[in-house]
Each structure stands twice: as structure tokens, then as C-alpha cells.
Amino acid sequence: MKFYPLASTLILGFGILSAPALSVADGLPDLGEAAQAEFSPAMERRIGESVMLDIRRDPAWLDDPEVNSYLNRLGNRLAAQSAEARQEFEFFALRDTTLNAFAMPGGFIGVHTGLILAAASESELASVLAHEISHVTQRHLARLVNKSGQGQVTSLLALAVAILAARSSPDLAMGAAMAGQGAAIQNQLNYSRDFEREADRFGLGVLERSGFDIRGMSSFFERLQKFGRLYENNAPGYLRTHPLTTERLADMGNRIQSRPYRQVADSLEFQLVRAKLRAQDGTPRDAVTEFETRLKDRSFAGSEAAVRYGLAQAQLRDRNLAAAEKQMGELRRLKAVSPMIETLAAQLRLKQGDAAGAVKILRDAQPRFPQERAIAYGLVESLLEARQPQQAIKVTEDELLNYPSDAKMHALQAQTWSLLDKRLQQHRAQAESYVLLGQLPQAVEQLELAQKAGDGNFYEQSQVDSRLRELKKRLADEAKQPKLPK
């Protein structure tokens, strides 16, 4: 049985108490809160944020700002077309070859890299996100809990996790369902199928209003079903956690037939993200061979630029810098425009020992793509490589004025202050990074080190003291919150 720490944490966070081998994460609302009041959006968000702290530490977490930025642009484009959306969403990728995606409480939606690569078009990928968004906006988890009454909250939380949240591990999801009260679980399974039909219906509307081809939903689900029939014992996890019945497919087909046909071209970013993920698969040599074969056969799937980009990524990974440089030249010839191409060009310069060249590329790109976090990160790293920490500090300060909740930028700022031998500022910046990652004890430790650094002025020292008192109070308040029994 394949267990994911992130899925295990999710189940623990919901408080499935009847599984004797499971312990419960601290700081989450106990069952009394869920039983005495409605399962509110605020409570859902709190649970989701708590789970995300562990997900970000999971080995499967894909810490790639370009992939996650693309998913968030795509997901928020869809969410903006949902009339029921009243909350923020966060989309993220997990490095996993299985075909799966899952929605968690509070608007957090995960997508396996295997599913991104399996999507034949951007509309197909968008259809999966639209379906998951609809699970969240229709508050399926809350409806299960609030419908149950106080006596069945534990079992229904178990069911909710099993059918809505623990999608990254279908076997674990089944274990979660079995951990609840069997009769109550079985009585709600038809309701879960109703949820799937409702998510289909709302998802189709979101997909259409967002300008995608709604046929992407039926084509992707039908392909998954065929795959499941061919490999019955190894069916895609998405099918095992989303009951895909003939009735559902027929209902989707009927709704789609009544709407006009719309052909939608894939965005270059969709193609580049897939090429980047594919270039990271297997050995570097295998990745190079795959893209070279596609280039030779002119198997571009609509984008020669994406194939050449993927080949350059694979060649860079294979340390063949001259070959990667040649592909960058071809990308320039094709006049392909994307921040991902600029960051790749800068990475290539860094590998060639030309940090100044990388800085120039990214400085030129920043005004064209001001919201791209990967360009900002790359610029700071390139300035540090070019031994220009003062310029790097200025970039971090400017970026944090616009994006104060950027944990990675705070960490880069800490690294830069360290090179400037500014210990108080280093520990202070690192503390802010830890706060944003939900690691309050580590943040307090960093601020205590900042207090002892002895290289700050009165104003800076006072800021550290004030922030330290604030975080210690937060820790004390959290310690007073009721915890689930172990």
C-alpha cells in the first residue's frame, strides 16, 4: 500500500479518531467545534492551511515557481468564472507519475505532474481543475458535515476525507472510509456520486465561461475510463476516487451536445510547462533522446518552440551547454515569447560562468514580466553569483514591497544579508520566511539570534524585540487552543 505523508496528515487533521494507529496534528479544531457550529469557510481554510504546512515539506512537493505559477494562473482564470466562488484558491503541483488531482478544504487544489503530462490539451487540464474548483465552491465537505448532525460528525469527516481530500492516495482514502462507522459511510456513498455529478455540471459551466473547449472534460474522462478498463488492477487514481459511471459520462455528453463547438488553441505556457516536466523525467540522456526524436520526426504537437525548449532543458540537465545554447538560438529565431524562456537563458548563462550575462537577461525581462516570481528569484541569485549583494538586497526590498508574503524572497534576502555580514538582518529575514511557512518556533529562534547579533541600530533592535514578543504571544495562544485527543 502506498502512503503519502501529506495524505496521512490530511486525514489526521480531520480527526478520524477510530483508527488506532493514527495520531492527530496539534492546533486543529476539535470535533466539538464541528458539531456545535456549522463547518464554516473559515474553519475549512484553517484546516487546509494546517495541512499545507506538511504538504510543503513532503518529498513530492514540486517547489517550482514556474509550474505552480502557471497552475495558479489557469486555476484562477477558471475560479473567476464561478459565481459561487467566495474565497481564495491556491493550486500546486506534486511530483507524481500517477494521474490524479484533489481538492482540500479551504480552496487548496493539488495536481500530480502525471496528470499534467497526460492531458492532451489545455482544455483537458482546465476541465479537471474546473471539476475540483466546483467541489470547493459547492462546499461538498461542509454539506456532508452539516447534514450529518452531531452524532455522525466523526464518520462523515472520515468519509469527506476519503472522497474529497485524500485523492493522492486512493488506498489510504479507502482506509479512511473504513475507519468511520460503516453504515453511515455506506449511506452517504450515493451522496458522493451526486457530488461528482454536481461538480461535472458546475465545472462545465466554469470551463465554458472561461473560454475553453468543454469537450475537453468528456474526452479526458473517457480516455481515463478506457485506460482503467485496459489496466483494471492499475486504474488511474483519479477514477478510484472520483466514481466515473456510465450515467455521468452520458450526462456530460448530453450537456456538451447542446452547446456550440469551440476550437481552442493551447497556450504556449501550457506546452512549455509540459516540456519542462518531461525534460525532468528519467535520466538526462533519455530526456535528450526523446526530444531529439520528436524534433527529427517533426512531432511538435502544435509547438516547435516547446519541443526546442524541452530539448534545451534536457541538454542543460545533461551538461551539454553548447547544444543547449544552440536550441536557445532557435527559440530566439522562432520569436517565442515567455518568461520561462528568459529564465532558461539566464540559467544557461550561469552554467557558462557568465553571471553578468544572466543578470542582463533577467533585468531586461523583468519589466516585460513584472509579476513572474521565477524571474525575480533568478535575478537575486544571479546578482549574488555576480558578487553584487548590494544590488541583490535592493531587488529583494523592492519585491517584498509588492509581495510581502513571499517566503522564498525573504529567505533569499536572509542569504544576501549573510553575505553582507549583517547578522541581525539575516536572522530577521529568515524569521519572516519561517513565519510565512507556518514554522513559528523556528521563527522565534531566529529572532532570538537576531537579538544577540549586536550589529543592529536602536531602531532595528526595537523592531526585532517587538516582532519577537508578537510571535511568542501567538505561540502561547496556539498552545491554549483545544487539541484533539491522541
Dihedral angle at the C-alpha atoms of 162, 164, 165, 169, nearest 10 degrees? Answer: 50
Give pTM, 2 decimals: 0.83
* Pick from 196-210, 349-363, 371-385: least confident: 196-210
Average pLDDT along the chain: 81
Residue identified by cell 487548496 is: 108
C-alpha cell at 323: 547544444
Q: Provide the pLDDT for residue 138.
A: 84
Q: pLDDT tens, 224-249?
A: 776 655 444 554 555 455 555 566 76
| Higher pLDDT among residues 299 and 265, named by residue | 265
What per-residue confidence (pLDDT) applies to 103? 85
- Which residues are paired to 110 by β-bridges? 92, 102
Question: How far is CA 80 from each of CA 20, 109, 206, 207, 240, rounded to the nearest angstrom?
Answer: 42, 15, 9, 11, 29
Greatest mean pLDDT among 6-10, 152-156, 202-206, 266-270: 266-270
Half-sphere exposure of 111 (CA within 13 A, CB side): 29
Angle at 240 between CA 237 and CA 246, to 5 degrees: 125
Q: How far apart are CA 143 and CA 53, in angstroms?
A: 25
Percent of the chain residues past pLDDT 90, beyond the cut: 55
pLDDT of res. 304: 95
Assess whether pLDDT exceeds 90 at residue 480: no
What digits encode the pLDDT tens for the residues 107-122? Answer: 999 999 999 999 999 9
What pLDDT sits at residue 82? 85
Among 99, 191, 203, CA closest to 147:
191
Strands 108-112 vs 101-104: parallel, antiparallel or unpaired: antiparallel
Instruction: Name the DSSP letter for residue 242.
Output: S
Task: Assess whether pLDDT exceeds 60 at residue 87.
Answer: yes
Strand order in the sheet with 90-94: 90-94, 108-112, 101-104
Are the C-beta atoms of 310 and 291 separated by less than 8 Å?
yes
Average pLDDT over residues 278-294: 96
Amino acid letter, residue 389 = P
Cell numbers at 234, concatenated: 492499475
Residue 20 predicted with pLDDT over 90: no
Q: How far apart are CA 376 and CA 40, in angstroms?
A: 37
Q: Got the DSSP string for 80-112?
A: TT-TT--S--EEEEE--SS--EEEETTTEEEEE
- Looking at residue 43, its pLDDT comes to 77
Q: Which pLDDT score, from 0 to 100, does residue 408 have?
A: 97
Q: Which neighbouring-strand residues pair with 381? A: none
Tell me the pLDDT tens digit for each residue of 331-346: 999 999 999 999 999 9
Residue 234 DSSP label = G
The stretch 145-157 carries a mean pLDDT of 51
Give the Cα separation of 188 and 148 in Å (integer): 10
Query: What confidence tens digit (pLDDT) does each residue in 434-448 have?
Result: 999 989 999 999 999
Residue position matching grid coordinates 504546512: 53
Helix (H) / strand (E) containing 184: helix 182-209
> Pseudo-torsion of CA 455, 461, 464, 467, nearest 10°?
180
Here the contacts of 197-200 (C-beta below 8 Å, separation 24 or greater) are 197/247, 197/248, 197/251, 198/134, 198/138, 198/140, 199/131, 199/132, 199/134, 199/135, 199/138, 199/140, 200/131, 200/134, 200/248, 200/251, 200/252
What pLDDT is recorded for position 256? 82
Lowest mean pLDDT among 80-89, 304-313, 376-385: 80-89
DSSP at 152: G
Q: Give the C-alpha separation, 463 to 346, whole Å.
A: 37
Of the candidate ranges 193-202, 251-260, 418-427, the one whose mean pLDDT is the lowest: 251-260
DSSP secondary structure string for all residues of 1-23? ----HHHHHHHHHTT-TT-TT--
| Contact in structure between 467 and 431 (CB atoms under 8 Å) | yes
Q: Between 122-137 and 65-79, two packed helices, what is the crossing angle to 10 degrees?
A: 60
| Res. 449 pLDDT band, cuts 50 70 90 | very high
> Cell for 401?
514591497
How many CA within 13 A on the CB side of residue 368? Answer: 13
Mean pLDDT of 419-423: 97
Given a cut of 90, whether residue 57 has pLDDT beyond it is no
- With 0-12 CB in 10 A as exposed, 13-18 as middle and 19+ as buried, what is 151? exposed
Select the highest-mean-pLDDT range: 29-38, 227-236, 451-460: 451-460
Q: What is the pLDDT of residue 177?
A: 45
